[in-house]
Amino acid sequence: MKFDIIRPAVIVGLACTAVSVALAEAVTYEIDSNHTYPSFEADHMGGLSKWRGKINSTSGSITLDKEAQTGTVEVSMDMTSIDFGHDGLNDHAKTADMFNVAEFPTAEYTGELVDWQDGAPTAVDGMLTLRGTSQPVRLDILSFKCQNHPQQGREVCGADAVAEINRADFGVDFGQNFGFDMGVTLRIQVEALALPN
């Protein structure tokens, strides 16, 4: 008799656990290219000034499991859309002197969301591939937020992240002989929408 009473309880318990696990699965978000613009700050003439630019076309996805506190990031940047706000520099940046977009039209960043605090990641450990060279790059997440999108009717997540890189590590060393500092501040401002069920 005892066995007959316990068995349904065990089955119900296992079913509840299965439902709980199913609810905790990772959600995939598609990067909103209209609200995602990786940008950078680079030295000009050994500290004479700072030049800033951005990538106008991006794509990619983010996965997020808030309960397990895990997630991934994949961002693809169209280097042909590089924009310094100066046509001459834009054209030069695309040549073999710098980003060589004819051979390497895209840059990629892939990584894992880490160091979660208060239910949100505070960093990304990943790899940046630029001009055909891959190097580890850690992004510090300055802000991270998810909410319901008032127009799309689904969840949207956004973040602002920053990293310091050495562009010469990626073969982009133009100006080094003129005293340019190879250090670059990379920022990734991103918004991503949950894929419809």
Q: Is residue 4 part of a domain?
A: no
List the domain range (segments joined by +) for residue 36. Answer: 25-194
Q: Is residue 49 part of a domain?
A: yes
- The model's pTM is 0.85
CATH of the domain at 44: 2.40.128.110
Q: Is residue 11 part of a domain?
A: no
pLDDT of residue 159: 97
Mean of the pLDDT values across residues 12-38? Answer: 72
Mean of the pLDDT values across residues 11-40? Answer: 72
Q: Is residue 2 part of a domain?
A: no
In the structure encoding, which two tokens stand for residue 90, read together? Answer: 């834009």
Q: Report the length, in residues, of the chain.
A: 197
Q: Is residue 18 part of a domain?
A: no
Residue-wise pLDDT for 114-146, tens only, equals: 999 999 999 999 999 999 999 999 999 999 999
Nearest to 143 by CA among 119, 124, 160, 167: 160
* pLDDT exceeds 70 at position 10: no
Q: Is residue 10 part of a domain?
A: no
**Percentage of the chain exceeding pLDDT 90:** 85
Residue-wise pLDDT for 31-52, tens only, equals: 999 999 999 999 999 999 999 9
Q: Is residue 9 part of a domain?
A: no
Q: Is residue 116 part of a domain?
A: yes
How many domains does the chain contain in total? 1
Mean of the pLDDT values across residues 74-78? Answer: 97
